[in-house]
A and B are shown apart, each in its own frame.
Chain A
Amino acid sequence: DGGITQSPKYLFRKEGQNVTLSCEQNLNHDAMYWYRQDPGQGLRLIYYSQIVNDFQKGDIAEGYSVSREKKESFPLTVTSAQKNPTAFYLCASSGGGQGPPGTYEQYFGPGTRLTVT
């Protein structure tokens, strides 16, 4: 079955530690995204990548880093510089066809709930 997987579902870390969230897709999509979801704030874009070895900052990139070494994978590292990292993190992918950018639906993973204490 094609889809996006995120692991783990729940993650607990101590303040000051870096943590990496996994995101893998087998949909052959070109673009991948990371969003942060907080109650009442909707989805806010952290980073996105249009193609392998290239990525752009979203609206709230400070304290986060990403890599895109393979088409299928787009891991997100939450660094100790992120002041309020506790949140629900969603990974998404889109594309893979001939249409112009922005016309594709995004496929979302099940999310990772990160708690930092």
Chain B
Amino acid sequence: AQSVTQLDSQVPVFEEAPVELRCNYSSSVSVYLFWYVQYPNQGLQLLLKYLSGSTLVKGINGFEAEFNKSQTSFHLRKPSVHISDTAEYFCAVSDRTYKYIFGTGTRLKVLA
């Protein structure tokens, strides 16, 4: 069975500082990986996804993530955050079926 671990439940960071949100997964088969963002009381929207190919994936709003197969990780990064990046971020994995498994989320709080 697959699982997704987001170790950090909350990450505070000052505006214009870099940030990394961590995601680790476990699976016995090859997977597809996703990062979503959720603003308060809204649905989720896709930031980026990794299906195959280059392990560095660029997404919307200046975010990027790197797939590391040996460490089974897919950490999300942004070199300089803005107040508007304050939201909850979810990592998700698919084992190539219709089912997706989500992590418990990381709340990013950008401080002025």
Contacts and interface: CB of A to CB of B under 8 A. Distances in A.
A68 B90 CA distance: 27
Nearest to B49: A105
A41 interface: yes
Contact of B98 (A41, A43, A50): A50
B104 A102 contact: no
Interface string A84-106: 00000010101100001111011
A105 B16 CA distance: 29
Contacts of B92: 106
B94 A102 contact: yes
A95 B100 CA distance: 13
Contacts of A33: 100
A19 interface: no
Nearest to B30: A102
B9 interface: yes
Contacts of B46: 105-106
Interface residues of B, number: 27
A40 interface: yes
A106 B51 contact: no
B34 interface: yes
B96 A43 contact: no
Interface of B: 6, 9, 32, 34, 36, 41-46, 49, 51, 90, 92, 94-105
Closest 8 A-B residue pairs measured CB to CB? A108-B43, A102-B94, A42-B104, A43-B102, A105-B46, A102-B96, A108-B44, A42-B102
24 contacts: A35-B102, A40-B104, A42-B6, A42-B90, A42-B104, A43-B44, A44-B102, A45-B99, A45-B101, A50-B98, A58-B99, A94-B98, A100-B96, A102-B95, A102-B97, A102-B98, A103-B94, A106-B46, A106-B92, A106-B100, A108-B36, A108-B43, A111-B42, A113-B41
